[in-house]
Structure 1
Amino acid sequence: MKIIQTTGCGGAVGWTTVLLSSGSGVRVPLGVPCNAAPVLTVLPPSSQEVSGKNKATLTCLANKGFPSDWKLEWTVDGRTKPGDASRGLLDKDGKYSWSSTLTLPADEWTKAGTVVCKATQGSQTPVLETMKRADCPV
């Protein structure tokens, strides 16, 4: 039997629906506010990766967001870069967590000024987390 889970907003409170492949299901209020903006953290690449593999992988962690369709985007010195994002994972508190990785050639990383991870969702105010290359030990 297949289980399908969806989330959404009704009024000011979020909900999740668990549907079975038979068509039956139940909607469960999560008690979390709709459109809760995630908290972003950008993690720098490791020095071993930059020097040994000639690349730099940055990770953006997005935690405590709702609903599950927030998107993570990257910019490097104002230029959009493609990242590899995970699907939202539902936490016990009813909010979601995601991550996105951005891999750059080492020479592009060493020349970078700022790297920004941006979370967007519909008409909500975007959430930004900026990392200055000069502040990183690598």
Structure 2
Amino acid sequence: MLSLTDMWKAAGEPETKRPAEWLRQDSTKDFIEIVMVSNVGQNHISTRRGNNGGTFAHWQIGLAYAKYLSPEFHMWCNEVVRERPGRTFRENRERFVEGEDFATLNQPDEIRTLGFTRPQGGTPATVIHHASRLSEAREAAHR
């Protein structure tokens, strides 16, 4: 199963594109129903709370979520799933090039300025953000 939560974080998308928001959409519910009918007996969606929690989904649902997040992220996910099925973003992180594909933020002031928050409240110590969207976020924060 793919972690939709990790995908959302890796894509650097806003709170409005969290997995829970996507799962509420009628078109998403329709798609999940089709996947469930086509893949009877498999686990399709699960949610875990806590430190290693998140929303996890069947790979087809994960790719649909990637498409919702952004075309670039969707394309990247298609490649990863095709080449390395069953692995998570964390396991495939070595495929990224820091600075080109992603950026690691660990300065609390910048993290707060860019508006990143933890689901349970507060500011995260580190944020991994999609590099091309980071410059946009920085520009928007300084306007």
Q: TM-score, normalised by structure 1?
A: 0.25
Kindly indicate which of the two structures has a greater share of residues assigned to helix: 2
Kindly indicate which of the two structures has a greater share of residues assigned to strand: 1
Q: Which has the higher contact order (CA 8 A, sep 6+)?
A: 2
The structure with the larger Rg is 1
